[in-house]
Amino acid sequence: MTDQEERNESRTQMVSKVGGFGVAMLAICIPLSAIIGDYSHLLAALLPLAVIAGTSVSMVTIWLTSSRKANSREIEELKQQVADLHARLSNLEMMDSYERRLAQREAQAQIQQAPPATPTYSTIMPDVIQPTQPRTERQA
C-alpha cells in the first residue's frame, strides 16, 4: 500500500468515527428536542443544527489537517534528501581537490626526477636552421 493510500485510509477511518458519533448525537438529540420543545421551540430547533454543524466542521478539519501533515512530512523528507545530497557533493568536491593536488605533486616529482636535457642548437631554435644560400647583390 502506498503512502497516499494509507493517508486516505486513515482519513476515512477518522471521518467515519466522527460521522458515527454525529449520528449517535442526533439520535439522542431528537428525543431531547421534543422535551425541550415544550419550553423553547428555538432551542429545540438549534440543537440538531448544532450537532450537524459540529460534525461537518470536524470532518472538514480532519480532512484538511491530515493532508497538511502529510505535505509537511513530505517536505521534511525532501529537506533531508537535499541535506544528504549537499553532504555527498561536498565529499566529491573534497575528493576532487585532493586528487588534483596529488596529480600536481606526482607531476612535480616526475619533473624533478628527470635528468636535465642538454640543449642543442636544433632544440633551441629548430626553425632557424636552414640551408644557406649565397647572397647575390639582387637579394640585398
Q: Is the pTM of this model over 0.75?
A: no
For residue 71, CA distances in Å to 3, 66, 75 come to: 11, 9, 6
pLDDT digits (tens, 9 = 90+) for 30-54: 888 888 877 888 888 888 899 999 9
In eight-state DSSP terms, residue 23 is H
Residue 90, H or E segment: helix 41-113
Residue 10 CA to chain centroid, in angstroms? 25
pLDDT of residue 30: 83
pLDDT digits (tens, 9 = 90+) for 66-89: 666 667 778 888 899 999 999 999
pLDDT exceeds 80 at position 64? yes
Residue 113: all three cell numbers together: 626526477
Rg of the chain (C-alpha set): 44
Q: Which amino acid is at 115?
A: P
pLDDT digits (tens, 9 = 90+) for 100-113: 999 899 988 888 88
